[in-house]
Chain A
Amino acid sequence: QPGLTQPPSVSKDLGQTATLTCTGNNNNVGYQGAGWLQHRRGHPPKLVAYRNDNRPSGISERFSASRSGNTASLTITGLQPEDEADYYCSAWDARLTAWVFGGGTELTVL
């Protein structure tokens, strides 16, 4: 089944800002928006944003999300070593009646 499109990797220096992108279509990202999952090695994924710009309780304000049309973005400011992880976008696809994921972006903090 078709998924969402994410760049495979992003590298930024400590303290800088990283913006990750995720492109879908009118049936998924453009429908009810996207969520973002942080997946550190050896841990289960953790939701850091949902329905475009909502942040779960306990998630740092350094994480913010937005959407423009069928493209969602996750911005992480003041990058810290613990931000290094794979980030996946997700969305419910109303036409497929399925959750769809992006292929994941590996974020490296230099």
Chain B
Amino acid sequence: EVRLVESGGGLVQPGGSLRLSCAASGSTFSGEWMSWVRQAPGRGLEWVATIKPDGNDRFYVDSVGGRFTISRDNAESSLYLQMNSLRVEDTALYYCVSGLLDHWGQGTLVTVSS
């Protein structure tokens, strides 16, 4: 059974930074595309970023490009999202997601507010 566990969310002021982590188990992490998807309060699902298995190719939604960085450590079966210059509109539940969006973590809440 694939298990994804996110951590690192919290309350941060606008302009601040957070680093989200996702620990994966039960699958061949190193062979999986991995993504972050978020859901703002009262809104639908929004894709944030995706990284290929070898980590060499990364893709971002336009609204986070230049501010967020997705990375991975295949030896540790871990996925990360470094979030800088956070905005109020980044407030959301952030999910770690594997492959063809086939496995999801429980999510970690990021709140950007002064």
Seen from chain A, the residues whose Cβ lies within 8 Å of a Cβ on chain B are: 1, 35, 37, 39, 44-47, 50-51, 56, 86, 88, 90, 97-104
Contact = CB atoms under 8 A, between A and B. Distances in A.
Q: How large is the interface on B (under 10, 10 to 19, 20 to 34, 35 or more residues)?
A: 10 to 19
14 contacts: A35-B100, A44-B105, A46-B104, A47-B100, A47-B101, A50-B100, A50-B102, A56-B102, A86-B44, A88-B45, A90-B45, A99-B47, A99-B50, A101-B44
A103 B44 CA distance: 6
Given A39-B45, A45-B45, A45-B95, A99 B102 contact: no
A56 B100 CA distance: 11
**Of B59, B101, B102, B106, most A-chain CB atoms within 10 Å:** B101
A88 B104 contact: no
A37 B95 CA distance: 14
A50 B99 CA distance: 11
Majority secondary structure, A binding face: strand
A36 to B, nearest CB: 10
Contacts of A90: 45, 101
A44 B102 contact: no
A30 to B, nearest CB: 17
A94 B42 CA distance: 28
B62 A99 contact: no
Contacts of B105: 44
Contact of A44 (B35, B44, B59, B95): B95
Contacts of A35: 100-101
Contacts of B106: 44
Contacts of B35: 99
B46 interface: yes
A1 B45 contact: no
B47 A101 contact: yes
